[in-house]
Chain A
Amino acid sequence: MIRIGIDVGGTNTDAALLDGDRVVAGVKQPTTGDVTSGVVNALRALLDRSGVAPDAIDAVMIGTTHFTNAVVERQGLAPTAAVRLGLPSTASLPPMVDWPDDLRAAIGGRAFLAHGGREFDGRPISPLDPEELRRIAGEIAAEGLRSVAVSAVFSPVSADDERQAAEILSEALPGIPLTLSSEIGQLGLLERENAAIMNACLREMSGRVVEAFRAAVAETGIGGRVFLTRNDGTLMDADLAARFPVLTFASGPTNSMRGAAFLSGLRDAIVLDIGGTTSDLGMIVGGFPRQAPLAVEVGGVRTNFRMPEVFSVGLGGGSILREGPDGPVAGPRTVGYRLTAEARVFGGDTLTATDIAVAAGIAQLGDPARVADLPPALVDGALAHVRATLARGIDRARLSPAPLPVIVVGGGSILAAGMEGPDGAAIVIPPHHAVANAVGAAIATVSGEVDTVVSLAGADRDAALHAARRQAVEAALAAGAAPASVEIVDVEDVPLTYLPGNATRIRVRAIGVLDAAG
């Protein structure tokens, strides 16, 4: 199978072409404001360099920060209604109760509480009231809200109420996009509902963006299927992505770490992704990113997505050099995406970390003559600072004193060239390191997940676990997995404290590789 992975970042659009497990070529192009042309440019450059014909491409996998950025910047969000089914329960904490004021204002901040929802064992809290929902639909229409998120208490246990309410609402509000919380998240009403509302407010934009991606792929003559990558390193096809843009959150760091693992052949390592402004550090365990254990905030809103545990240090290829109290230091100020215009070696006037790497002879970039006049003491001092900063980050990312190898990827990888890892850890800069995130997108898998509570007596638990495993596998197959490749990667079976009997929360996750035949 011939695949292309694309990572559309705020600064660069990276692309990589893989034939089976072999990386054929990788390119880096500036991201453009109009989405399409940056992707088209990257695809054309990639096809040129690899010499592969467009019609030979089976699939294009796109990782994008568009939707995360829209929420973070509060740009392009649709006025949205949040409808929660749960009365009389839950009235003490209405939807969006913990949102930052400016984000709530940006989407209109309209929350409606209605009857419905379930107890933990599936029995109704109160019956769904169609009249009440039609009244709410009337208000939604009158206020000009253009997207709706529906959440119900314990919908991961029983999604019936959300589905019924969606039917009633879509009948009364034809054409309005509906997001159901049970389709997105897990137990934990606030976080699941938050994710559903964020998804709803992105629905107008997601249709346009996904269409633009499709158009860009088509423009280059590629006929293969188009996928977007998810937060957990798995894929969703373009139609699904248009419906669930929120699931693309944090796909960037996931792709970069998965790509680093793939390119280096290492399964357990620290990943150091050096960009223009910051360096991101995380860890791969068994080839997958280690997940953040706590609730993750996006744009100031708590969600319960699986996201890799990543932290940033303020040092990148574009970091500007300045005089610190103990000698020269780089960052946190940066020339960012203007690196190729403003850095000394590229003809500019600003001394950056990249210039130091060139002056020190660890990187060959731009015009070395333009930094030949730098005093050796300055170069040595600055390089020592850069290496010490990276070493501190690496040490912080480790979970044990064992000197795990460090995989360095990203456009600024040159900063780590020739560096010695702390405690003798190996520093690995794999081929195609600059486009590791695009490679990570290309190798993304497909998954299926189940999260539910069963209230059963002892012997039935095995049956419930078995059923959950089957559902997870079915979900992975529905997402496009090759049947032979599907495996269960995660089974959590957590008895609930306090409840007598055997109420148990079951979570199962299955993944598989994309079916070439699809």
Chain B
Amino acid sequence: MPLDDGYPLTEDDLLPLSIGAALLGTGGGGNPYLGMLRAREVLRAGATMRILPLDVLPDEAWIGRVGSIGAPLIGIERFAEGRECLRAMRAIEAAEGVAMSALIAAEIGGANALQPIITAAQAGLPVLDGDGMGRAFPEVQMSTFAIYGEATRLSALSDAAGNVVLFRDIADPLSLERLLRGTTVLMGAGAGAAGMPLAMDFVRRTAVPGTVGQAIDIGRTVLDARRRRQDVVDRVIERTGGRLFFTGRIRDVKREITGGFVRGHAMIEGAGDWTGSEARIAIQNENLVLWIDGVPVAMVPDLIMNMELETGEPLTTDMLRYGHRVAVIGMPAHPLLTTEVALKVVGPACFGFDDLTWRPLATG
């Protein structure tokens, strides 16, 4: 197969992809398990899935973005009809008079990594190997597409019954956010969404590249290490170039919900090389900042990931419980997320940590 056709996704890729996506979710982004099952159903029904590198399509090709939005609880109770995102995307194509050439994920971390792959397969389109975060963030404006100037005047939502609502001539991102939320609640607090088409040359400049392949690679590493009964955490660190920052047992987890977000802290009592030390992780859906003995050692936009020490299972922030044995891994964010303009949107100050200044993650 010629290189510029990318590569097909098979059923065997889906579990690794969901494991990698969960880990890149840095504690948030939702559980990709159900998305993986949906993708498997779509494949078993005969669809094909293809992943395309960012350098293949011409500059003027249109790239679509889709995702599920709503409360996580709705996702585990009222499953999708299946074509919500496809309908929303078609509505965008009709409104703009364009046809999409491929889709791209806004967020590789967590549950929404799978949705563009499902919708693309239904539409017979490929998915680009990249995304707008290289991880998960709690808010839509925290994607590289938004940071580097995507337009937000248009969006569409669809529900299970087939209703499609098109939002056009939207004045600003805040209005869009408000309208999407309100309508989503009317749709039962869960819906399929599609955003403005992006031109391929813009995507090439602004997407975090290679993240679909990266997620699959991480997942394969986890599964392979388990099969060989090797240390999963070691293997993942070796493979990703991340760094082990701490190991220990969770001593306390405090959570509160404000403004629709889960905020809180996890305290970890050191074990092994860190016996006698204590780590603290600040949480807002995702892991935001890691302190060891009071010193900040990793912070957004860099990735802070918790894995269960023995199984290597990625732990989302809602899974953290007293007594969990965890390894805390740090991985540097993509340079697109650490520019001066990006740090104004995804740096520590944007999450209320005005006293912290982002410095490149020590990976040695």
Contact = CB atoms under 8 A, between A and B. Distances in A.
Contact of B181 (A91, A125, A498): A498
Given A92-B41, A154-B78, A500-B182, 19 more contacts: A89-B188, A90-B79, A90-B81, A90-B160, A93-B41, A97-B37, A119-B188, A188-B77, A189-B76, A189-B79, A190-B34, A494-B257, A495-B257, A496-B73, A497-B257, A498-B70, A499-B71, A499-B185, A499-B260
Q: Which 7 A-B pairs have the closest CB atoms?
A: A92-B82, A399-B323, A89-B160, A498-B71, A90-B79, A119-B188, A293-B321
Nearest to A290: B323
The secondary structure that dominates the A interface is loop
B71 A497 contact: yes
25 contacts: A86-B78, A89-B78, A90-B78, A91-B79, A91-B82, A119-B188, A120-B71, A120-B73, A120-B189, A153-B77, A187-B73, A187-B77, A190-B79, A290-B323, A293-B319, A294-B313, A399-B249, A399-B322, A400-B323, A494-B257, A496-B73, A496-B189, A497-B72, A499-B71, A499-B189
Residue with the highest number of chain A CB atoms closer than 10 Å, among B82, B181, B185, B285: B185
A19 to B, nearest CB: 37
Interface of B: 34, 37-38, 41, 70-74, 76-82, 160-162, 181-182, 184-185, 188-189, 249, 251, 257, 260-262, 269, 285, 310, 313, 319, 321-324
Interface string A92-125: 1110011000000000000000000101100001
A385 interface: no
A294 B313 CA distance: 11
Contacts of B41: 92-94, 97
Given A93-B37, A188-B77, A500 B261 contact: no
A376 interface: no
Contact of B269 (A120, A400, A453, A495): A400
A190 B71 contact: no
A495 B249 CA distance: 27
A396 B185 CA distance: 45
B39 to A, nearest CB: 10
A497 B34 contact: no
A99 to B, nearest CB: 11
A281 to B, nearest CB: 13
B37 A98 contact: yes
A119 B70 CA distance: 13
Contact of B80 (A92, A400, A497, A503): A92
A153 B257 CA distance: 25
Nearest to A309: B323
A189 B185 contact: no
Contact of A496 (B71, B310, B313): B71
Among A93, A498, A500, which residue has the most Cβ atoms of chain B within 10 A? A498
Contact of A497 (B78, B161, B260): B260
A190 B80 contact: no
Interface string A197-237: 00000000000000000000000000000000000000000
A21 B161 CA distance: 59
A120 B261 contact: no
Contacts of B262: 497
A117 B319 contact: no
B77 A293 contact: no
A505 interface: yes
Given A293-B321, A499-B71, A88 B77 contact: no
Contact of A117 (B37, B78, B251, B260): B78
A120 B74 contact: yes
Contact of B78 (A125, A496, A499, A505): A125
A496 B318 CA distance: 12
A125 B160 contact: yes
